[in-house]
Amino acid sequence: MRELIDKLEKNSVLGLSEYAELIKNFTPELSEYLFEKSRNIRHKYYGHDVYIRGLIEFTNYCKNDCLYCGIRRSNKNAERYRLTKEQILDCCESGYALGFRTFVLQGGEDPYFTDDLMVDIISSVRERYPDCAITLSIGEKSYGSYKAFFDAGANRYLLRHETANCEHYGKLHPKELSCENRKRCLYDLKEIGYQVGCGFMVGSPYQTAENLAEDLLFIKELQPQMVGIGPFIAQHDTPLKDFKNGTLELTLFMLGLIRLTLPDVLLPSTTALGTIHPRGRELGILAGANVVMPNLSPTNVRNKYLLYDNKICTGDEAAECRHCMELRMGSIGYKVVVNRGDAINFHQINSYK
Ligand code: SAH
């Protein structure tokens, strides 16, 4: 197995069966072998810096019905909320004071937030924070909507592909959602000029090692600037509630493989990883990740954006989260930095931003 990791390090890609073989046969020893390499590459491009993104979960209304997600429209037990534009701007204000230079506006696919309203919100954030990056994570839209958001000042877009295998995609989503449209969105976003993030859940129901290998090959093909992954965590009010959670070990192993596959990619150590293990986010950094995304949402809505069970940090103030992250990263010899943390493999072609 070590030869395969050496080969991946050298070529930055493997064949489908080679990736699958690694994923099926990984051990703690092999993981350590991988992480030493993935950390080295990460240090080469990003040193010991950790980029922070301020996450603003501005609505948990959603018109979609993804089978794994706690804010799916059929979940009658989800207590719904929306933030106003003023509340979103307040989150940015406190985030800016805490050193955040990227704001991530994430939400369910909520028709209340029309394109016009989103453009208004994005333009207001852009006007007040010309030195910050604006990241959107609001799901599948038309080319025209994505373009309007970009023109209003958004720079980046996170849209996990969830799984590159269309048959697997069909087992996790209702039939009105398609793998093809999800991928179409990602290519549209790239074309428009966004820094794009795709990603997937590790250990999602019905997932095979081959599926994960396909995810890596899809990532290689798309060449995104960011890749967000985290373990699948069952949510008790969803149809997939009885499936097992993804593991810490496999998620870390996948982070290492992604770092070797796209050496300079921005790779978050996610909240879901921190949820399945108390030091999950630190271990993610040690496996090659270089981004963390603390929450800036107001405390009174924090405990309502529950995509999965036992989500951490739902009671904390933004300042506490920021401080906690500094300590956590410091404890493993890394440093949270105050800057936009743009992708280094990205050359802005179309613009002023
Ligand atoms: N509505 C937006 C934002 C989605 S929420 C969109 O469509 O992109 C962000 C991510 O949370 C999802 O892409 C999914 O990968 C992840 N997620 C949802 N439910 C989850 C669960 N039960 N366990 C782990 N991750 C989950």
- Average pLDDT estimate for 225-253: 98
**Residue 353 — pLDDT band, cuts 50, 70, 90?**
very low
pLDDT at residue 348 above 50? Answer: yes
- The model's pLDDT over 180-192, given as tens digits with 9 standing for 90+, comes to 999 999 999 999 9
The verdict on residue 227 lying in a domain is yes
Distance of CA 51 to the CA centre of its chain: 13
Residue nearest to atom 19 of ligand 1 (CA): 69
**Is the whole-model pTM more than 0.85?**
yes
Ligand 1 pocket, 256 CB below 6 A? no
Find out whether 242 and 201 touch, Cβ atoms under 8 Å.
no
Residue 226, phi then psi, degrees to nearest 5: -140, 150
Euclidean distance between CA atoms 304 and 77, whole angstroms: 10
pLDDT at residue 351 above 80? Answer: no
Give residue 350's pLDDT: 45
Ligand 1 pocket, 232 CB below 6 A? yes
Euclidean distance between CA atoms 132 and 125, whole angstroms: 9
44 C-alpha to center of ligand 1: Å?
31
- The model's pLDDT over 76-117, given as tens digits with 9 standing for 90+, comes to 999 999 999 999 999 999 999 999 999 999 999 999 999 999
Ligand 1 pocket, 228 CB below 6 A? no
The verdict on residue 63 lying in a domain is yes
The verdict on residue 33 lying in a domain is no
69 C-alpha to center of ligand 1: Å?
6
Ligand 1 test: best mutation among 168, 201, 273, most atoms within 8 Å of CB? 201
- The model's pLDDT over 288-323, given as tens digits with 9 standing for 90+, comes to 999 999 999 999 999 999 999 999 999 889 989 999
Q: Which two tokens stand for residue 222?
A: 């798309």
307 C-alpha to center of ligand 1: Å?
6
165 C-alpha to center of ligand 1: Å?
17
pLDDT at residue 287 above 90? Answer: yes
The verdict on residue 8 lying in a domain is no
Ligand 1 pocket, 235 CB below 6 A? yes
Ligand 1 pocket, 253 CB below 6 A? no
127 C-alpha to center of ligand 1: Å?
29
Give residue 344's pLDDT: 87
- The model's pLDDT over 41-73, given as tens digits with 9 standing for 90+, comes to 999 999 999 999 999 999 999 999 999 999 999
Q: How many domains is the chain built from? A: 1
CATH number at residue 260: 3.20.20.70
Give, in order, the Cα–Cα distances in Å from 114 to each of 91, 138, 206, 221, 273: 21, 11, 35, 32, 32
pLDDT at residue 278 above 90? Answer: yes
Give residue 94's pLDDT: 95
The verdict on residue 54 lying in a domain is yes
Ligand 1 pocket, 230 CB below 6 A? yes
Euclidean distance between CA atoms 42 and 287, whole angstroms: 9
Distance of CA 106 to the CA centre of its chain: 10
pLDDT at residue 346 above 90? Answer: no
The verdict on residue 10 lying in a domain is no
Domain of residue 188, residue span: 46-337
Ligand 1 pocket, 60 CB below 6 A? no
Euclidean distance between CA atoms 8 and 15, whole angstroms: 10
272 C-alpha to center of ligand 1: Å?
10
The verdict on residue 20 lying in a domain is no
Task: For residue 245, give the ligand 1 atom closest to its CA.
Answer: 23
The verdict on residue 6 lying in a domain is no
